[in-house]
Amino acid sequence: MTHMPETNLPESVDPNRLKITSDDATKGTLIGFKCKECGTSVFGHAIFCQQCTSSDLEEVDLGDKGILFSYTIVRIPPAGWPGDVPYVLGQVELPAGPQVLAEVVDCAHEDLKIGMAVEMILQAVPAENGGPDKAVYKWRPTTAGA
Ligand SMILES: [Zn+2]
């Protein structure tokens, strides 16, 4: 594997939630916290368990795959939205339980199905204040077997 110059590589949009796992910043894993008392996992940083209020938490990899739980087709984006319009905002349930909201890409609207398998990809988005691009996580249909 060749070593790429690091100057133009995107950085995680949120290091508390997304860890980049490939040299070219196209793959990553979601990060969460798991309660050692009751086993409940949450996406992102947590100080105590939402289920049992224990503060005995450990950081866990939540992986890069899930199931589409619900979605919305957004026709009026938030100010500064850098992507296409309309776009699909998908709520995805991870195997460990937490749900993660992100754009769904590479899927025609008529092909969206609740319960379909999706995988996370990272896309580089220019930072608003200059500096390195931000690696943003998005969902796309899992193509294995297609
Ligand atoms: Zn708990």
79: CA distance to ligand 1 center in Å?
37
pLDDT computed for residue 1 by the predictor: 52
39: CA distance to ligand 1 center in Å?
6
Structure tokens at 39: 């086993």
Compute mean pLDDT per 10 residues along the chain, 146 residues long, and list them.
62 93 92 96 93 96 98 93 90 97 95 97 87 93 69
Domain ranges of the chain: 11-141
56: CA distance to ligand 1 center in Å?
8
96: CA distance to ligand 1 center in Å?
14
127: CA distance to ligand 1 center in Å?
36
41: CA distance to ligand 1 center in Å?
8
54: CA distance to ligand 1 center in Å?
5
pLDDT computed for residue 138 by the predictor: 96
Strand partners, 72: 89
CB 51 within 8 A of CB 40: yes
Structure tokens at 95: 């195997």
pLDDT computed for residue 109 by the predictor: 93
